[in-house]
Homo-oligomer: A and B are copies of this chain.
Amino acid sequence: MNEDQNLRGKTEREIRQKLLQAIFELRMPPGARLTESVLADAFDVSRTVIRLVIARMTQDGVLVKRPNGATCVASPTRSEISQILRVRRMVEPEIAGDLARSYKKLSFAPIVEHLRKEELARTSGSYGDLVRLTGEFHLHLAELSGNRFLFNLIYQLQALVCLGVVMYTNTEIACPEDEHRQIADSIMSGDDESAAELMVHHLDHVEENILSSSKQHIHFNETLKWLSGE
């Protein structure tokens, strides 16, 4: 596979985007070690900008820094995913309820457009896109709330949940049916209680899928040494 055409991007933001996409598509799976040099080569920039990318994505939690300085793709445990979803259950049902309460003032065009794309990815079976899109649904809602701190929060947490999904769930089971559409319908019809409740159940389902699944994520040789030695 030729990564040159696909990966090269100049600005720091583009590089982060592409790298995240590569991670969701499992071209750089959880636990994989990333060296600054190979990233600098892959994106055709100097190590300096790669260091900034790594610093940012480390703070986002998508990458982790080992005690010796090596950076790896994060491989969150099931327990950590639970912690994340616990936070999301604190805020997202309330977001959904609030949106439903002010549904008259909001423009839902981006949402319905998104649901269309999601459905398309689901039927066409492009898994990497589907994982990314199902995460982006929640981002759209956070954005609609008009609270940029909520958006940032959901952005960070959602990325790690996506990682958990690709690690622990078996392909299509990941994103249950059309729960997103039901939530959107409740919001757009102004039914705040239903919207909040559906959101709780949705997040519960995501957690169930991850916790109940027996799928074991495979770590690479290099990272295995780390885990056993430390």
Chain A contact residues, CB within 8 Å of chain B: 48, 51-52, 55-56, 59, 80, 83-84, 86-87, 90-91, 94, 147-150, 152-153, 156-157
Contacts and interface: CB of A to CB of B under 8 A. Distances in A.
Question: What is the predominant secondary structure among interface residues of chain A facing chain B?
Answer: helix
B148 A83 contact: yes
Contact of A87 (B52, B91, B157): B91
A207 to B, nearest CB: 14
Contact of A56 (B55, B84, B148, B157): B55
23 contacts: A48-B48, A51-B52, A52-B52, A52-B55, A55-B55, A56-B59, A59-B59, A80-B148, A83-B147, A83-B148, A83-B149, A83-B150, A84-B149, A86-B147, A87-B91, A87-B147, A87-B149, A87-B150, A87-B153, A90-B94, A149-B157, A152-B156, A153-B153
Nearest to A84: B149
Given A48-B48, A83-B147, A87-B150, 20 more contacts: A52-B52, A52-B55, A55-B55, A56-B59, A59-B59, A80-B149, A83-B148, A83-B149, A83-B150, A86-B147, A87-B147, A87-B149, A87-B153, A90-B90, A90-B91, A90-B94, A91-B91, A149-B157, A152-B156, A153-B153
